[in-house]
Chains A and B, each alone.
Chain A
Amino acid sequence: EVQLVESGGGLVQPGGSLKLSCAASGFTFSDSAMHWVRQASGKGLEWVGRIRSKANSYATIYAASVNGRFTISRDDSKNTAYLQMNSLKTEDTAVYYCTRRGGDGYNPALAFDIWGQGTMVTVSS
């Protein structure tokens, strides 16, 4: 079964750190570009950032709102992507989804075709 499973969410104080994981199965993870998207309660979807495959130099890029605070990485041997979140702010409170772009074999015309179930991050004192 093709799936993404996020973990690592929880309650953290402002200024704190948290690392989310996204475990993939059922497809060739190493060929895939992986993205993170978040959604605050009752709000819309916000793209957070992405990491490309080894063939594309593991290139990363981030939304302005998290640039310099968040880091995306991956371990292809574990079929897992990560989102390291530092200097957390109350406005980072959201459900965080990992998602795959490009389908099998990476077709850049294809958008986010697989989504995880999400993990909740709450930043509060």
Chain B
Amino acid sequence: DIQMTQSPSSLSASVGDRVTITCRASQGISNYLAWYQQKPGKVPHLLIYAASTLQSGVPSRFSGSGSGTDFTLTISSLQPEDVATYYCQKYNSAPLTFGPGTKVDIK
């Protein structure tokens, strides 16, 4: 099975900072990569699919890039409401594995 890794596992940044999270697949998955945001105590929420397509209603400060095995999620200007854990997920074929998550908070 393809393994998904994320880095860093956690980060602390200031409001307005540019934040980048990396996700890596152990084998190529084309662009079948999604990013989810899960705020504390809440349900996961789709941010980006197909590696770089912003889900409807998601603020434009979120962006995704990558293809194959290496992907990034960028928050161009971190806001207080972005405090959450972010998960990547491969969905090209089963098992639809999630990465271990990156916890983002405000410095």
Which chain A residues have a beta carbon within 8 Å of chain B's beta carbons?
Answer: 35, 37, 44-47, 50, 61, 63-64, 97, 101, 109-113, 115-118
Contact = CB atoms under 8 A, between A and B. Distances in A.
A61 B94 contact: yes
Given A44-B87, A117-B43, A111 B49 contact: yes
B46 interface: yes
Chain A binding surface SS class:
strand
Pairs of residues from A and B, 5 with the lowest C-beta to C-beta distance, nearest first: A111-B34, A111-B49, A45-B98, A47-B96, A61-B94
Chain B binding surface SS class:
loop
B11 to A, nearest CB: 16
Interface residues of B, number: 25
B95 A63 contact: yes
Contacts of A47: 89, 94-98
Nearest to A65: B95
